[in-house]
Amino acid sequence: MSVRRLRWISSGVLAIALAAVTAGCGSDDSKSDGSNKYGLAQGGTITSALTAGGVPFASVDASGKPVGLLVDLNNIIAKNLGLKIAYKSTDLNGAFAGITANKYDLLSIGLVATPERAKSVYFTKPIYYGTNAVIVGKDSAVTGAADLTGKRVGAGANSTQYDYAEKSLAQAKLVSEASNSAAISQLEAGNVNAIVLGGTQASTLMKTSSSKFKIAFTAQQTTPGEIAINKNLKTFQTDYEAQLAKLVEDGTFLKLYDQYLGVLGLPFPTSLYSTWPTLKAQVEADPKANPAPSAAS
């Protein structure tokens, strides 16, 4: 066989080999079937973080099953986008570390959209306005911030409640807690004099433990709660928000709100009307909804 023919055969084999390698390199992120058109952490599946104590937005039940308003909402959106969804339980620090490291695509966590958090994630349009609630023991005489001067007050690490306590309960001795459940345990054990919870968590606690605890006082949040998405997933952000808008428009969102938040006796936050105008007529026509009398609930 001539040297020229050997060179031709070698060149052909090399070309075929290179073509195979090139095809293999692109198979994970650009399949022709579009299974990872969004660039998700796992093709065809939304990987979402949640925290165990995030009732009623998202948590895990006794069997380990994800439950809550955001779980139901995100399950519907995932289905409508033709995707699966997998939930991973972590804490708030782990959630933010994971989403910035592209481990998570979405956070199914009730988050207040602070400017600091917005540096790490993309936030959707608002879905909630809440309150901060100071919880004390049933026999406590605390009725205001001044009563906590020099007292130990627990709040979840890196939470909006911790930020509130730093600013509004500055005369207290602030204690960083790993989670809301840890804070509740510390209050029950007498290791802190009060704790700060979000309004939804506080209402849930009162449903089950009003014989042990009470709400001493509350403060309105002016920054809304929003859903956090990985900043790198631009197309996913757009399509997710389009699906969220559809669920608001067709009444699904209000139905889920009634199911998870309305049952806690929390008034519907009328501040959402400026973002979602169609909600006003829906709430006014809904016998289960209880519009808030003020700008934020």
Same domain? For 270 and 157 the reply is no
- The residue count for the chain: 297
Kindly state whether residues 257 and 201 are assigned to the same domain: no
Say if residue 116 is in the same domain as residue 231: yes
Domain that holds residue 145: 131-220
Give the torsion sign (CA, 155, 161, 163, 167): negative
Q: Which two tokens stand for residue 233?
A: 């997933």
Percent helix, strand, coil in the chain, to 5, is: 40, 25, 35
Same domain, 116 and 262: yes
The reported pLDDT for the residue numbered 292 is 61
pLDDT, mean over the chain: 86
Tokens in use for 77?
Answer: 């959106």
Least trusted range by pLDDT, from 28-37, 43-52, 147-156, 237-246: 28-37
State how far the Cα of 92 lies from the Cα of 171, in Å rounded to an integer: 26
Alpha-carbon gap, residue 173 to 149, rounded angstroms: 8
CATH number where 170 lies: 3.40.190.10
User: What is the reported pLDDT for 111?
Assistant: 92
Residues 93 and 139 in one domain: no
**Ramachandran angles phi, psi of 191, nearest 5°:** -80, -15
Instruction: Give the pLDDT confidence of 265-277 residue by residue, as tens digits.
Output: 777 888 999 999 9
Let me know if residue 295 belongs to a domain: no
Instruction: Mark whether 95 and 215 lie in a shared domain.
Output: no
Domain boundary among 171, 186, 220: 220
Domain closes at, from 188, 220, 252: 220
Query: What is the average pLDDT across 227-253?
Result: 98
What is the bridge-based pairing of β-strands 106-112 and 225-230? antiparallel
- Structure confidence at residue 35 (pLDDT): 59
Last residue of a domain, one of 220, 253, 270: 220
Residue 31 lies in a domain: no
Do 115 and 147 sit in the same domain of this protein? no
Residue 4 lies in a domain: no
Of the pLDDT bands very low, low, confident and very high (cuts 50, 70, 90), residue 21 is very low
Q: Pull the structure tokens for residue 253.
A: 């969102």
Q: Is the pLDDT of residue 217 over 90?
A: yes
pLDDT of residue 27: 32
**Count of the separate structural domains present in the chain:** 2
| 171 plus 56 within the same structural domain | no
CA distances from 165 to 140, 148, 152, 202, 204 (A): 18, 11, 11, 15, 21
Q: Tell me: do 65 and 170 sit in the same domain.
A: no
Average pLDDT over residues 220-230: 92
Name the least confident of 71-75, 121-125, 206-210.
Answer: 206-210
